[in-house]
Amino acid sequence: SPILPPDLKSCSKATKSGSKDLVEYSCCPPTPKDLNNIPYYNLPPMSKLRKRPVAQDVTKEYIAKYQLATKRMKELDKDDPRSFMQQANIHCAYCNGAYKFGDEVLQVHQSWLFFPFHRWYLYFYERILGKLIDDPTFALPYWNWDHPKGMRLPPMFDRENTPLYDARRNPHVRNGTIIDFSSPRDEVTTDVGQTVTNNLTLMYRSMITNAACPLQFFGARYVLGNNDSKGQGTIETIPHTPVHIWAGTVRNTDLEDMGNFYSAALDPVFYCHHANVDRMWKVWKGLGGKRRDIIDTDWLNSEFFFYDENKNPYRVRVGDCLDTKKMGYDYAPAAIPWINCRP
């Protein structure tokens, strides 16, 4: 049977990824008042589409708005489910063993829940930011690392002492250094042109060659009780994880922030990175062949728990997040040059 919202009462300490160490603080969300009656979320009627812009192309005005919204989110009381810390903790709770079903820990990565979980997560994060600046059309930027222009940290995240900066980032990602998807731990020493070509070829593999069928793209089936047979989808493997490792600091023992599940969402660039991951889902569906959403009801009926922009708790279904336009947002168009990079 499908994965349902975790039992919030049993939420407990989380463990850092790749380690036995406990996370020093609790990642559990504030407990909803009526714990046994959490309603289903209905997508609100769409008024105006939120259009997610390319992170490299945004205007000064946009950056100012985004900074202000993030600043306000960071200033909310830490027990407010919309605060930056609580938002980051969602990732920690769903990915580091805070939630359990019996003896099994809930882990949304390395499985077919990867895309829908992060889609709902960003959906609410974006709506909260918009609410905090009173702009119902506010849309998150997307980091288009699938384009040569986007294969570096978007500059707005690289300004010290601004709300979008994270001092725990790896210093080698600063000042426009290019990322190498195949060796994200190292500074690029080879030719930039060669690195770009390799990255584009890896994109082609993850979107086309190795992702002709749904489970290859989304990741392995994950239902109650089958934690052992999980496996990640092509995009989750490359370039999603390399981007995390690249931005995480080797100096910090557990690759914080971006390189560890419990801390990744403490870096504001996390949400910009995941906006492009989310965009890849949409682009992939447009590529034809058997590239469609999964029709297994165990996937469609999987659920998560989130607070919305008004601090109300909800359960959300995977089956309700398949169409971004119905969810009220879309992506500003951008070229996909990897389409011509068959290996």
Active site residues: 91, 109, 118, 240, 244, 261, 274
In the region spanning residues 2 to 61, those forming contacts with ligand C2O, defined by CB under 6 A, are none
91 is annotated as contributing to ligand binding: yes
One symbol per residue from 161 to 200: x for binding ligand C2O (CB under 6 A), - otherwise; what is it?
----------------------------------------
274 is annotated as contributing to ligand binding: yes
Compare residues 72 and 244 and give the one whose CB is closer to ligand C2O: 244
Residue 135 near residue 251, CB atoms below 8 Å: no
244 is annotated as contributing to ligand binding: yes
Residue 91 as a binder of ligand C2O (CB under 6 A): the answer is: yes
Compare residues 131 and 274 and give the one whose CB is closer to ligand C2O: 274
Distance in Å, CB of 120 to ligand C2O, minimum: 12
The span from the CA of 225 to the CA of 220, in Å, is 13
273 is annotated as contributing to ligand binding: no
The span from the CA of 277 to the CA of 275, in Å, is 5
Angstrom CA distances, 223 to 6, 220, 231, 296, 301, stand at 13, 10, 13, 11, 10
Residue 98 as a binder of ligand C2O (CB under 6 A): the answer is: no
Compare residues 50 and 244 and give the one whose CB is closer to ligand C2O: 244
240 is annotated as contributing to ligand binding: yes
In the region spanning residues 109 to 168, those forming contacts with ligand C2O, defined by CB under 6 A, are 109, 118
Residue 331 near residue 52, CB atoms below 8 Å: yes
Distance in Å, CB of 270 to ligand C2O, minimum: 7
Taking CB under 6 A as the criterion, the residue among 52, 82, 152, 240 binding ligand C2O is: 240
Closest by alpha carbon to 238, among 187, 182, 177? 182
In the region spanning residues 266 to 325, those forming contacts with ligand C2O, defined by CB under 6 A, are 274
Taking CB under 6 A as the criterion, the residue among 50, 52, 147, 244 binding ligand C2O is: 244
The binding site for ligand C2O (CB under 6 A) comprises 91, 95, 109, 118, 240, 244, 264, 274
